[in-house]
Amino acid sequence: MRGLTTAQADDLRQALRTAERRSGLRFGVFLGEPAGGRRHFAERLHAALGDEADNAVVVLVDVKGRGLEIVTGEKARRRLSDGACRLTAMSMATTFSAGDLVGGLLYGIASLGEQASARR
């Protein structure tokens, strides 16, 4: 993952695997500058998951543009409400603003995974 140390990328991969194992959902993270609007780009990334999209969650972080999007598939949305995603995004943004990109991502992925597993 571009812009992260090897240890940070490993921690992020482990967090994704843990969230997937606990929740049964597919999680993906994009760090970088989106082509076009953030939301539109995040939705395109999500759609690119094909058959897995219904059970997937994509977290897009535009570090340069200071933006965050969380996109959920139809089945994932039944377990992760818009409100839950919004609260998680706010907590992530607070951590990002303190200069801790990786900490915010790790928190967000764990939080979304836990919330989804509670409604499994």
pTM value is 0.93
pLDDT, one tens digit per residue, over 37-75 is: 999 999 999 999 999 999 999 999 998 888 999 999 999
pLDDT for residue 97: 93
Q: Which helix (H) or strand (E) holds 31?
A: strand 26-31
Q: Inform me whether the pLDDT recorded for 34 exceeds 70.
A: yes
In CATH terms, the fold of domain 6-118 is Diaminopimelate Epimerase; Chain A, domain 1 (3.10.310)
Cβ contact 65:93 at 8 Å: no
Domain coordinates in residue numbering, the chain: 6-118
Name beta bridge partners: 57.
Answer: 27, 72
Task: Give the residue-averaged pLDDT of 7-19.
Answer: 97
Alpha-carbon distance 35 to 26, whole Å? 23
